[in-house]
Amino acid sequence: MKISVIGCGYLGAVHAACMADFGHDVVGVDVDPAKVDKLAAGIPSFHEPGLEPLLRQGVEKGSLRFTTDKTSLAGARVHFIAVGTPQRGGSYAADMSYIWSAVDDIIGNATPHADGPLVVVGKSTVPVGTAAAIAERLEEAGVDAVVVWNPEFLREGHAVQDTERPDRVVYGLPDDRERGEVGRSVVDEVYAPIIEAGTPRLLVNYPTAELVKVAANSFLATKISFINSMAELCDVSGADVSRLAEAIGHDDRIGSKFLQAGIGFGGGCLPKDIRAFMARAGELGVDQSLTFLREVDSINMRRRDHAVELATQMAGGRLVGLKVAVLGLTFKPDSDDVRDSPALDIAGRLWGRGANVVATDPAGADAVRGLRPDLHIVDSADEALAGADLVMLLTAWKDYVELDPTAARSLVATPRIIDGRNVLDPRAWADAGWDYRGMGRRSGA
């Protein structure tokens, strides 16, 4: 099937490559010529395991194109909207301008299709009420299109697998049953390999589909902040949050995932999604329903303060002139994304307190060099560790998790480490002579 994907950022580029892999004829349209040029050459514009071979294969076969030319939208039966909805400056709400310009591009370039109405599939994370508003705008413009809201649950670092083998798909369909049936059958055809694999598929109305996405991210954020609040309790009571998480996680009603305490969540999704959700609840007059998310957000931000305070305390009260080795800058491992990264924020705050920060990251270094030229970035953990007075592990990259405490000790000036992700073995580090501090963990326990 001939399809377009509007917006070739993280979500759109992966989606376009996976849809071409499913056998469709795909054009990805984006306003950024630099991004488009790279993608058109089969090169991802961000780090994502498994994406490059798919892009190359699609581009070489000719079934995957990327362009800035919006007239390329003509002829497609299905248009996927995959543009960003970042936090709007000065407020919690989502900036919807890219969504509306994508809709205008569809209106300006849509061509009627012999097989029936066009299908516009929304994948971006949006405030509840958006799908209906898009359907209305298309109708007013005289475009015969069925809107389907199909939220995306992919995780960075697992994006290809999450797109091609999702654990569920959700279609938000119009109330008109006949048009809903057209939308369902066309999207089923696009996702044939997913449907044939027996993936659970939920057919719901627009607002449910829109809410499913933000509800899922809010739940995940709440789980993380819950365990981080337990870490605060562990710190003052001598308990160990990793053992506590393990013990409660054995109950399947709780589950063991997303209970990793540490410096908290970041990235382009969870923080801005919970804020936009609160803003939307306020607009709908039910802000009280989500006041707990304010607490989730503030527990999360407190983790960063705590890490900086712990560093200051371990340094004897002053960071000025102290050499701090920061391991990891991205918001999580296997990603080069530093958007709202707790690690980068902490590194910047240590620098602000006068520390001589020497940071490293396997994939995020280039992005940070552009954003924070004041931070000293080096190419390897060994370089960062050399002569350090304090080490802070802030992103759980495998290379850092597997560091040998004895070898690392021989490089630093003072063996003090803060394990901001609770991924090291406290006893092994203590046995190798380190002053080890986790986040809500007992040292050397």
Catalytic residues: 269
d(CA 241, CA 253): 19
Q: Identify the three-state secondary structure at position 144.
A: coil
Handedness of CA 254, 260, 261, 267 (dihedral sign): negative
Query: Does position 277 bind ligand UGA by CB under 6 A?
Result: no
Residue span 126-165 as binding mask against ligand UGA, x where in contact by CB under 6 A, dash where not: --------------------------xxxxx---------
Instruction: Give the DSSP letter of residue 87.
Output: B
Query: Does position 419 bind ligand UGA by CB under 6 A?
Result: no
Tell me whether residue 67 or residue 360 sits nearer to ligand UGA (CB atom).
Answer: 360
Shortest distance, position 344 Cβ to ligand UGA, whole Å: 11
Shortest distance, position 193 Cβ to ligand UGA, whole Å: 20
All residues at 6 or more sequence positions from 102 whose CB lies less than 8 Å from its CB, including other chains: 6, 7, 81, 83
Per CB under 6 A, the segment of 55-63, 114-122, 216-224, 358-366 that binds ligand UGA is: 216-224
Q: Under rule CB under 6 A, how many of the chain's residues touch ligand UGA? A: 22
Q: Which of residues 51-90 bind ligand UGA (CB under 6 A)?
A: none
Shortest distance, position 332 Cβ to ligand UGA, whole Å: 4
Shortest distance, position 166 Cβ to ligand UGA, whole Å: 10
Q: How many CB atoms lie within 10 A of CB 216?
A: 15
Query: Does position 334 bind ligand UGA by CB under 6 A?
Result: no
d(CA 31, CA 97): 13
d(CA 317, CA 64): 56
Shortest distance, position 347 Cβ to ligand UGA, whole Å: 15
Selected from 125, 218, 222, 229, the binder of ligand UGA by CB under 6 A is 125
- Sheet with strand 201-205: strands edge to edge: 64-67, 25-29, 2-6, 78-81, 118-122, 145-149, 169-173, 201-205
Query: Does position 220 bind ligand UGA by CB under 6 A?
Result: yes
Selected from 22, 331, 351, 429, the binder of ligand UGA by CB under 6 A is 331
Quick one: which H or E segment has residue 4? strand 2-6
Contact of 87 with 98, CB cutoff 8 Å: no
Contact of 213 with 154, CB cutoff 8 Å: no
Query: Does position 230 bind ligand UGA by CB under 6 A?
Result: no
Residue span 249-268 as binding mask against ligand UGA, x where in contact by CB under 6 A, dash where not: ---------xxx-x-xxxx-
Q: DSSP letters of 367-391?
A: HHHHH-TTSEE-SSHHHHHTT-SEE
Contact of 321 with 315, CB cutoff 8 Å: no
Shortest distance, position 133 Cβ to ligand UGA, whole Å: 21
Query: Does position 302 bind ligand UGA by CB under 6 A?
Result: no
Instruction: Give the DSSP letter of residue 94.
Output: B
Residues that bind ligand UGA (CB under 6 A): 125, 152-156, 217, 220, 224, 258-260, 262, 264-267, 269-270, 273, 331-332
